[in-house]
Structure 1
Amino acid sequence: LMRKLIQNQYIYFALILFVLLFRANPCLAEFTIADEKKLGKEFYDKLEEHQLILKNKVLNDYINKIGNLILTQTKKAPFEFRFSIVDSSAINAFATPGGYIYINKGLITAAENEGELAGVIAHEIGHANARHVASIIEKSKKLNIATLAAIIAGAFLGGGGQATAAIAAFSMAGSSTLTLKFMREHEEEADRLGISYLVGAGYYPAAMIDFLKIMKQNEFLSKTMPSYLLTHPGTDDRIFYMDSLILTQYPQKGAKNIIGNFNRIQVLVPLDTTDELNKKYRQLEESLKKDPANVDLLYTFAFVEDQLGQTSSALIHYQKALSLSPRDQDVLKNIGLIYLKTGQADLAQNYLLRAAGLNADNDEVTYALGKAYLATGNYQKALDCFLRLETASQDNDDINYQIAMAYGKLNKQGESHYYFGLHFKKEKKKESALFHFKEALNYFPKNSERSIAIQQAIKDLETGGRQKSEEKPKP
């Protein structure tokens, strides 16, 4: 059901994109950089509004590190790039106007190494730098509306089911030959640019080909075409073309992993069902039998075990990984988290302190250490940890709550109420937020900076509430 809903969302957003294109420039004579930026931002906002952008700091940092590494090999684009992960199991990636690059979580789990993932990102950067959507728009005087819609739908939709039907319907109404011609021309240029970026960044040249071969294999085994192949046509021709490029221009070997920890990153990608989690468990179990001293395999296996509720077994495998790699911050952190979860805060604190000693700037470690301090009664140290993250952890919806708890334990009720107010305001719980903000006012001088901030927050909440109540009901 969830996958079907996500497919429907893709169709919806592709059609929104199509409508926005015409709204942005009805004459379709020229699609400017400003148009690209505006449209790309609107599309991103729609995805975020419908909670289709995955909020995971570690995953997003990883994708951005790869993306920014590849960008060092490109000419300066007229816009800032933004890399995001779409919460969809469909194996796909796409670039929208204005430098917005989207990677589906399903593609991350399908790739076999970092180089393959980097190859996909490089390809999408190629699309963006070549301004392919702008090119379609500027050439669109030669196209009818249905054909243009087919190109746009093909560029941005995930495949399968209704998405495929939508593309087919559009194509039948227009000129499918011209649509395919445009898309194949763009794919070839994006491949040519992408492989140059990829090799320049230090990755092995065949990474893009290897990923396409995985997609072809999935197509054969599942008897259905992966959405990446639907939206990136001409696969066999692309493989042949890139093979020739590698033979003639890119003889160097390159690396499969540069940023590192690809297997650990993959395991952080949320799976949609318990069946998928169990499948991952079985795969890792078999891999460990062949390579029982592999720290990354031990780490990822323990991570999956913990997700499946096998906490004791997970702890055993984490401890084995730690014995092989005593300075592994991820392992130390996750052991600490297990002890914290099982009510052994003193042990958790010890492991988390060791992890923090290796890298004090790791937000996840700092947050977990703050919770351990809170559980062991070290309230000031807990507060210090949480306040460090107040501005850094934009994706952590819980940080204001933890700060409020720490202030409360320190008997600083004004600050505690204030941060509870911030927490509930962010949660859109108006009455709870107002209660805490109004209570907080009792603890601060009337014209103090904090009091003024609280009064403004109350005003914003109350004004917003009145405006909402005054809106006429929709017919």
Structure 2
Amino acid sequence: MAAAFAVASSGGADVYRKPPDTTNLPRLGDASREDLSPILERKLGEEIMNDIRRDPDYLDDDPTLEYLNNFGSALVAAAPDARGEANLNFFFFAVRDPMINAFALPGGFIAVHSALLIAAQNESELASVMSHEIGHVQQRHIARQLGKQREDMLLPLASLILAALAAKASPDAAMGIALGGQGLAIQRQLNFSRDAEREADRVGFQIMNSAGFDTSGMVAFFKRLQNATRLYPDPPPWLSSHPMTEERIADIQARIRTAPHHKPRPDSLDFHIIRARARVLQDGSVKGNDDNKAFFESQLTQPNRQEQIAAQYGMAFLALKKGDLAGAQNWLDKARGALKPKPGVFSAESDGSDGAPLFAGLQLEIELAPGQSDAVVQRAVKDAAMAYQQFPLSRAIAHQNAEALIAAGKYEEAARFLRDQIQQYRAEPKLYDTLARTYAREGKIALQHMALAESYALSGALPAAMDQLGLARKAKDVSFYDQSVIDAREREIKAKQKDEKDEKKDSKF
């Protein structure tokens, strides 16, 4: 898999998108170091992620994010050394892209393309890809390669990493970013060496084997990738620096013969459901919806029970996206019925396995969709409370619980719930955004701007955070206590801005 974005058009809409801003990327440290420090590596990754999160093709879909992070965390847990000396917090996410690919960014940020989620036929295949990318992070390939470059070459390198997002909307925009960062020279440096790819294969193999996945899934996916690349007149740019696929397949087959065998893990229903969800999210055009409908109808005839249920879920989600709420509820009821005689979604006996949180979440999506009656919205409040009680660790359900309270006009209860959530999950900008919206409904203007300031600060937009604090200070309802909090936050943000300015001043950029 690629270790970073490839600069290549993927056939997206021909609409110009503003190129990502690379002027404020952090200084990466002493050029004489052999590699980047873990702290600087993470900082660069966070800066790049701030741009990626603002891109329309970033799949900010709570159920997908939750599945990928649960799945990825299980793989990381099987590799005690993966977090490294900095004890990295890995973050797994998806981007909408029709090319089968995955990539790792500095600092433990790992993504899969929506097409890869759809192409993987089982969790072992998905595990093979994600374990490979974890291997890149564990071996610090990105940091080691960046550290070997001259410091004044790092900004063009960051530009190239970001250029792929613009490529989806405009190949010309992507080329501008790449050329502006001396992309033609840096691309050769960006591509991982064949030795690094072999090492990531080896580490990935060990990770997925330790996690209990069928290691033959790595071979199966390599073959699928090999078939997919035959559709292109030229190999994808990221593939040019990789070992030939036949060589990688032979190497993994040799490892399989000598590795200890164990009973492979069965696929979870969640995997099949998330694939169905990714299929709908990848292409919401009229043709895309028609193609997805035909696919799900065909999948309904398959003998595999999990695929049948996933197809019913997919039909429900597709109907929801098209505004057919009755159809969505009908298909969801069918999917739930196919699970019987297992416990119901909201049953206290359910342990959260077999898709239960995903079914609960889709039920809430339907109940909170535009056009629902007040009675249905009030039912959503009860269903959300029950789902959150049953699945308290689900971030998707927690967000929906807050949305249900807001939709029902229970603003004070929603604000209290969100403040409690923020105490546990301080790094989630979405919580602050939702809290700001809640305060706006209550008419608490100062608190609204203070919450937005925290969201902007977490997203790296420090000037915008300062602007929001200024608006909060001028609000008519600002209290003496609020003023004290604003003063403290302004000092902290100004200090952070000064540090970043000093880093930029000291660098050669």
Fold similarity call, TM over 0.5: yes
Q: Which residue of 1 aligns with 2:210?
A: 200
C-alpha distance in structure 2 between counterparts of 1:81 and 1:461, whole Å: 23
Q: Which residue of 1 aligns with 2:223?
A: 213
Q: Which residue of 2 aligns with 1:404?
A: 439
1:309 maps to a residue whose letter is G
228 and 308 in structure 1: CA distance in 2 versus 1, 3 angstrom threshold? farther
Q: Identity percentage over the alignment?
A: 20
Conserved? CA contact 1:295–1:321, under 8 Å? yes
C-alpha distance in structure 2 between counterparts of 1:399 and 1:456, whole Å: 23
Conserved? CA contact 1:54–1:87, under 8 Å? yes
C-alpha distance in structure 2 between counterparts of 1:292 and 1:63, whole Å: 23
Which among 85, 90, 106 is matched to residue 78 of structure 1?
A: 85
TM-aligned CA deviation for residue 190 of structure 1? 1.4
What is the count of residue pairs matched by the alignment? 431
Q: Which residue of 2 aligns with 1:107?
A: 116
TM-aligned CA deviation for residue 202 of structure 1? 0.9
1:91 maps to a residue whose letter is I
Using the TM superposition, name which of 185-194 and 326-335 deviates more. 326-335
Q: Residue deviations 1:185-239, cap 9 Å, x none?
A: 2222211111111010111111222222221222234555456644644211101
Using the TM superposition, name which of 367-376 and 215-224 deviates more. 367-376
Q: Residue deviations 1:349-387, cap 9 Å, x none?
A: 335524532442244444444444455555554444444
Conserved? CA contact 1:119–1:208, under 8 Å? yes
**1:347 and 2:350 matched:** no
**1:331 and 2:359 matched:** yes
Conserved? CA contact 2:94–2:111, under 8 Å? yes
Q: Residue deviations 1:278-305, cap 9 Å, x none?
A: 4333211211233697333211221122
Which among 381, 386, 394 is matched to residue 357 of structure 1?
A: 386
C-alpha distance in structure 1 between counterparts of 2:316 and 2:235, whole Å: 33
C-alpha distance in structure 2 between counterparts of 1:363 and 1:137, whole Å: 34
**1:295 and 2:309 matched:** yes
Q: Which residue of 2 aligns with 1:279?
A: 291
Q: Which residue of 1 aligns with 2:135?
A: 126
Specify the SS of the correspondent of 1:95. strand
Conserved? CA contact 1:91–1:226, under 8 Å? no
C-alpha distance in structure 1 between counterparts of 2:139 and 2:400, whole Å: 44
Q: Residue deviations 1:82-141, cap 9 Å, x none?
A: 234353514322334444434334433332232222211211222232333455568889
Q: Which residue of 2 aligns with 1:465?
A: none
C-alpha distance in structure 2 between counterparts of 1:199 and 1:292, whole Å: 25
272 and 398 in structure 1: CA distance in 2 versus 1, 3 angstrom threshold? farther
C-alpha distance in structure 2 between counterparts of 1:56 and 1:340, whole Å: 16
Conserved? CA contact 2:433–2:452, under 8 Å? no
Conserved? CA contact 2:377–2:407, under 8 Å? no
C-alpha distance in structure 1 between counterparts of 2:309 and 2:430, whole Å: 29
Q: Which residue of 1 aligns with 2:4?
A: none
C-alpha distance in structure 1 between counterparts of 2:119 and 2:113, whole Å: 10
1:78 maps to a residue whose letter is E
Conserved? CA contact 1:93–1:103, under 8 Å? yes
C-alpha distance in structure 1 between counterparts of 2:330 and 2:123, whole Å: 28
TM-aligned CA deviation for residue 346 of structure 1? 2.3
236 and 67 in structure 1: CA distance in 2 versus 1, 3 angstrom threshold? same
Specify the SS of the correspondent of 1:395. helix
Conserved? CA contact 1:332–1:352, under 8 Å? no
C-alpha distance in structure 1 between counterparts of 2:66 and 2:320, whole Å: 23
In the superposition, the TM-score normalised over structure 1's length comes to 0.72
Conserved? CA contact 2:446–2:473, under 8 Å? yes
390 and 73 in structure 1: CA distance in 2 versus 1, 3 angstrom threshold? closer
C-alpha distance in structure 1 between counterparts of 2:485 and 2:190, whole Å: 55
8 and 31 in structure 1: CA distance in 2 versus 1, 3 angstrom threshold? farther
**1:311 and 2:325 matched:** yes
TM-aligned CA deviation for residue 316 of structure 1? 1.0
**1:187 and 2:197 matched:** yes
In the superposition, the TM-score normalised over structure 2's length comes to 0.68
230 and 256 in structure 1: CA distance in 2 versus 1, 3 angstrom threshold? farther
C-alpha distance in structure 2 between counterparts of 1:434 and 1:172, whole Å: 45
2:270 maps to a residue whose letter is N
Q: Which residue of 2 aligns with 1:63?
A: 68
Specify the SS of the correspondent of 1:103. strand
Conserved? CA contact 2:316–2:332, under 8 Å? yes
1:206 maps to a residue whose letter is S
Q: Residue deviations 1:231-271, cap 9 Å, x none?
A: 6442111011111111222433422536x501332344442
**1:244 and 2:254 matched:** yes
What is the aligned-residue RMSD (CA, Å)?
4.8
C-alpha distance in structure 1 between counterparts of 2:149 and 2:482, whole Å: 56
437 and 131 in structure 1: CA distance in 2 versus 1, 3 angstrom threshold? same
C-alpha distance in structure 1 between counterparts of 2:292 and 2:238, whole Å: 22
423 and 302 in structure 1: CA distance in 2 versus 1, 3 angstrom threshold? same
C-alpha distance in structure 2 between counterparts of 1:419 and 1:282, whole Å: 48
Structure 2: unaligned runs, 5 residues or longer = 1-10, 346-355, 457-463, 495-509
TM-aligned CA deviation for residue 67 of structure 1? 2.6
Specify the SS of the correspondent of 2:368. helix
C-alpha distance in structure 1 between counterparts of 2:245 and 2:113, whole Å: 19
Conserved? CA contact 2:296–2:311, under 8 Å? yes
7 and 248 in structure 1: CA distance in 2 versus 1, 3 angstrom threshold? farther
Which among 116, 137, 147 is matched to residue 125 of structure 2?
A: 116
Which among 87, 97, 100 is matched to residue 95 of structure 2?
A: 87
Structure having the higher Rg: 1
Conserved? CA contact 2:78–2:211, under 8 Å? yes
C-alpha distance in structure 2 between counterparts of 1:383 and 1:436, whole Å: 21
288 and 196 in structure 1: CA distance in 2 versus 1, 3 angstrom threshold? same
C-alpha distance in structure 2 between counterparts of 1:223 and 1:333, whole Å: 42
Conserved? CA contact 2:402–2:417, under 8 Å? yes
Structure 1: unaligned runs, 5 residues or longer = 463-475
Specify the SS of the correspondent of 1:91. coil
226 and 110 in structure 1: CA distance in 2 versus 1, 3 angstrom threshold? farther
C-alpha distance in structure 2 between counterparts of 1:63 and 1:92, whole Å: 15
45 and 431 in structure 1: CA distance in 2 versus 1, 3 angstrom threshold? closer
TM-aligned CA deviation for residue 16 of structure 1? 11
Specify the SS of the correspondent of 2:367. helix
C-alpha distance in structure 2 between counterparts of 1:91 and 1:273, whole Å: 19
Conserved? CA contact 2:132–2:203, under 8 Å? yes
TM-aligned CA deviation for residue 424 of structure 1? 5.4
